[in-house]
Amino acid sequence: MKDTYHDNKAVQALAPAVVSAAVAGSPVDLSGFDSALFVINTGAIAGSGDFGVKLQESDTTTEADFADVAPADQLGTVPATLAANSAYRLGYIGSKRKRYVRILVTKAGGTSIALGATAVLGHPAIAPVAA
């Protein structure tokens, strides 16, 4: 039987929390991996929350260096407004691959949303992946 446990690494990209404003997730270091899949989980939405997410990339962890990932450099889409109690996924394939990628939560209105995100790094340069 095949497994994905030894060929992937899970990294917290955005700690689960109730957010009421735009927030940037932690930079995820892609060093040693050739693919990244972001899994976004939502919970309750309060006050007609209108929140979305997008991917950003950078060669450094400096806040000002991050820029939105072009649509052609990612796999999958998420709706402009996230739904409550849902799961979404976005893959990063950057044509001019950057070392760091992160999730950015955007707010267009409303009160709050509960959400978190995990990055699953794959296609490691060295496998099996250490825990």
**Using one digit for the tens of pLDDT, what is the confidence trace for 55-109?**
999 999 999 999 999 999 999 999 999 999 999 999 999 878 899 999 999 999 9
Retrieve residue 100's tokens: 């760091």
Residues forming a β-bridge with 17: 115
Instruction: Enumerate domains of the chain plus CATH numbers.
Output: 5-124 (2.60.120.1110)
- Bridge partner residues of 67 (DSSP): 57
* Closest alpha carbon to 97 in 38, 37, 30, 7: 30
pTM here is 0.93
Among 82, 129, 74, which residue's Cα sits nearest to residue 101? Answer: 74
Task: Report in angstroms the alpha-carbon separations of 63 from 26, 71, 104.
Answer: 10, 21, 12
